[in-house]
Structure 1
Amino acid sequence: MATHTINVERREDEGKGASRRLRRDGKIPAIVYGGDLKPVNIQLDHEKLWLASQNEWFYSSILDLSLNGDVQRVLLRDMQRHPYKQLIMHLDFQRVNENEVLRAAVPLHFVNVEKSPAGKSAGVVVTHELNEVTVSCLPKDLPEAIEVDLSALAVGDVVHLSELKLPAGVEIPELKLGADHDLAVVIAKHARVEEETPAEGGEEKK
């Protein structure tokens, strides 16, 4: 599992006014909570954090927050964005315990559809019903993504959650709730063609 380190600073001032001042200075207010430690207010450099946020791993991987060399392992749990500006307003990070099972949303990577019978068939639409899935595992087993190999996908096929190939130690909690929760992930079907039916007798003249 790749390591992603993000440098942070402790934030002493609280409140909306303090947060506005931080943002004017190019900083993002944030909080770290969970585990046996008290919540800690921190701040991050907006420019560097914005660049990190353009990567898929930022949302699904365990991050190493480094405060002057003191590293805490966390998951991003919430991000508040400005309604129309390219600004991150606030972040919530949750500490992870290496010995405790966690839940996290992991993106799905769909590969080899162009090699599949469905992908080579004219007039067939392959739809992705899900783009991520919530998994449970120990932090060391958390994958950055789950690959879905569609090389054998045929017309009419439906790939369900239960058919995903998961890394060792990784489970999908949804599947423990019963067959009704074995959701479709990918569907390959013929495109629907709407045929126009001419009006009987033609259009009436007025």
Structure 2
Amino acid sequence: MKVVAFARKELGTGASRRQRNAGLTPGIVYGGTAAPVSISLDANALYYALKKEAFHSSILDLEVDGKVEKVLLRDFQMHAFKQQVLHADFQRVDANQKIHTKVPVHFVNAEISPAVKLSGGVIGHVTSELDISCLPADLPEFIEVDLANLEVGQSIHLADIKLPKGVSAVQHGGEENPTIATASVPAGTVSAEAAEGDAAAEGDADKK
């Protein structure tokens, strides 16, 4: 994915405000051996690019005044109530150095899992993204989690997921094998079944 930007010479709050009023979004490119560069991007194009999931988890070709660099979107700030991107940060990437980033999780085959198909269960998505480490060339747009064999009462953990070649998970907080998804029967269903059981028991007692 390609992003076109321009070197930004005027800095400061006032200059950034003028840029936004002119339909531009201020940003910065940093990392690697080169010095950080302040940039401006087309605000409208950036706003719609941010709506694409892949834009957040792909190596981007950032062209600044004709020079193209490989970068990764690291951060962006949105206006509190306007459809406006206030600022964007991009980090240069080296093809020979591993990067640490988050990628979205895509859950598939929930509708054919025993939990849903046979037990009327509900799949709970405990996380929507994973922290990973890999070389830029191995960066996946997303991680797929297959729910086809999930049954009620079971969970899928990090160790159950087959990560793409060259990709490793980065864990935090000391939890060795965090939960990714769970399958359970809705609380209302359990209550209804319990109520039916109590009613049947009362009926039997009345007959006696």
TM-score relative to the length of structure 2: 0.87
Instruction: Spell out, residue by residue over 1:117-153, the C-alpha distance to the aligned partner (whole angstroms, 9 max, x if none).
Output: 1121344111000000000000000000011111111
Match of 1:127 in 2: 124
Instruction: Spell out, residue by residue over 1:35-90, the C-alpha distance to the aligned partner (whole angstroms, 9 max, x if none).
Output: 00000000000111111111001111111101233111111111111111111000
**Matched residue of 1:140: which SS?**
helix
**Matched residue of 2:111: which SS?**
helix
**Matched residue of 2:168: which SS?**
coil
- Compute the displacement of 1:116 (Å): 1.1
Match of 1:185 among 180, 190, 201: 180
**Matched residue of 1:143: which SS?**
coil
Distance in 1 separating the partners of 2:119 and 2:148? 16
**Matched residue of 1:181: which SS?**
coil
Distance in 2 separating the partners of 1:187 and 1:121? 16
Match of 1:112 in 2: 109
1:22 counterpart = 2:22: no
Larger radius of gyration: 2
Match of 1:79 in 2: 76
- Compute the displacement of 1:171 (Å): 0.1
The answer to which structure has the higher helix fraction is 2
Distance in 1 separating the partners of 2:29 and 2:153? 47
- Compute the displacement of 1:192 (Å): 1.6
Q: What does 1:1-206 correspond to in 2, within 5 Å?
A: 4-174=1-171, 180-193=175-188, 194=191
CA RMSD of aligned residues (A): 1.8
Match of 1:203 in 2: none
CA contact (8 A) 2:7 2:65 kept: no
CA contact (8 A) 2:126 2:182 kept: yes
Q: Give the letter aligned to residue 94 of structure 2.
A: N
Q: Give the letter aligned to residue 137 of structure 1.
A: C
**Matched residue of 1:84: which SS?**
coil
- Compute the displacement of 1:21 (Å): 0.3
* Runs of 5+ consecutive residues of structure 1 not aligned to the other structure: 198-206
**Matched residue of 1:8: which SS?**
strand
CA contact (8 A) 2:6 2:39 kept: yes
